[in-house]
Amino acid sequence: MASPGGQGSGALSTRGGVARRMKWALELSLGNTRGRGDRQSNQGDVMYPIGYSDKPVPDTSIQETDKNLVEKRCWDVALGPLKQIPMNLFIMYMSGNTISIFPIMMVCMMAWRPIQALMSMSATFKLLENSNQQWLQGLVYSVGNLLGSALAIYKCQSMGLLPTHSSDWLAFIEPPQRVEIMGGGMVL
Partner 1 sequence: MGHCISMKPSAKMAKLVPLLAVFFYLVCVSEAVFEDQVGKFDWRRQYVGKVLFASFDSPSQSSKKLFVATDKNIFASLNSRTGDLFWRHVDKMGPEGAVDTLLVNAQDALMVIGDGRLLRSWDTNVGGLNWEVVLDTGSFQAACFVGIQDTVKHVAVLKKTAISLHYLSNGHQKWVENLPDSDTVKYQAVYSGGGEEVFVLGMVPHSHLTITVYSLEDGEIIRQRSVEAPWLSSVESSCVVVGRGVLMCVDNYTQALYTLAIQAEDSPQFRQVLLQSLDLEVSQDFQPVLVSTQPHPARSPLPEFFLQLGPDHHILLQLSEDGSTIAPLRDFQPAFLVSFATTGEKTVAAVMAPKNTTACAVNLFSADSGRRLLDTTVIFPLDANGGKPQKLYVHAFLKKDDSVGYRVLVQTEDHALTFIQQPGRVVWTREEALADVVTMEMVDLPLTGTQAELEGEFGKKADGLLPMVMKRLSSQVILLQAWMAHLWKLFYEARKPRSQIKNEVTIETLSRDEFNLQKMMVMVTASGKLFGIDSKSGTILWKHYLENVQPNAAFKLIVQRTTAHFPHPPQCTLLIKDKDTGLATLHVFNPIFGRKSQISLPALPRPILQSLLLPVIDQDYAKCLLLVDDQYKVTAFPSTKNVMQQLQEMASSIFFYLVDSEQGTLSGFRLRKDLSSELIWEVVLPTEVQKIVAVKGKRPSEHVHSQGRVMGDRSVLYKYLNPNLLAVVTESTDTHPERAFVGMFLVDGVTGRIIHEAVQRKARGPIHFVHSENWVVYEYWNTKSRRNEFSVLELFEGTELYNSTVFSSLDRPHLPQVLQQSYIFPSPITTMEATLTEKGITSRHLLVGLPSGAILSLPKMFLDPRRPEVVNEHSREENLIPYAPEMPIRTEWFINYNQTISRLKGIYTAPSGLESTCLVVAYGLDIYQTRVYPSKQFDVLKDDYDYVLISSVLFALFFATMISKRLAEVKLLNRAWR
Residues that bind partner 1 (CB under 8 A): 4, 6, 8-9, 11, 160, 165-168, 170-171, 173-188
Residue whose CB is less far from partner 1, 1 or 115: 1
When the beta carbons of 44 and 175 are compared against partner 1, the nearer one is 175
End-to-end CA separation in angstroms for the chain: 104
Smallest separation, CB 18 to partner 1 (Å) = 19
Residues 98 and 160: their CA atoms lie apart, in Å, by 9
Nearer to partner 1, 8 or 51 (CB): 8
Rank residues 58 and 185 by Cβ distance to partner 1 and give the closer one: 185
By CB atoms closer than 10 A (0-12, 13-18, 19+), residue 73 is middle
| CB of 31 vs partner 1, minimal distance in Å | 20
Write the CA distances from 158 to 74, 78, 118, 122, 152, integer angstroms.
Answer: 35, 29, 24, 33, 10
CB of 71 to partner 1, least distance (A): 45
Name which of 160, 155, 163 is nearest 111 in CA terms: 155
Q: Residue 152 Cβ, how far from partner 1 at the closest point, in Å?
A: 20
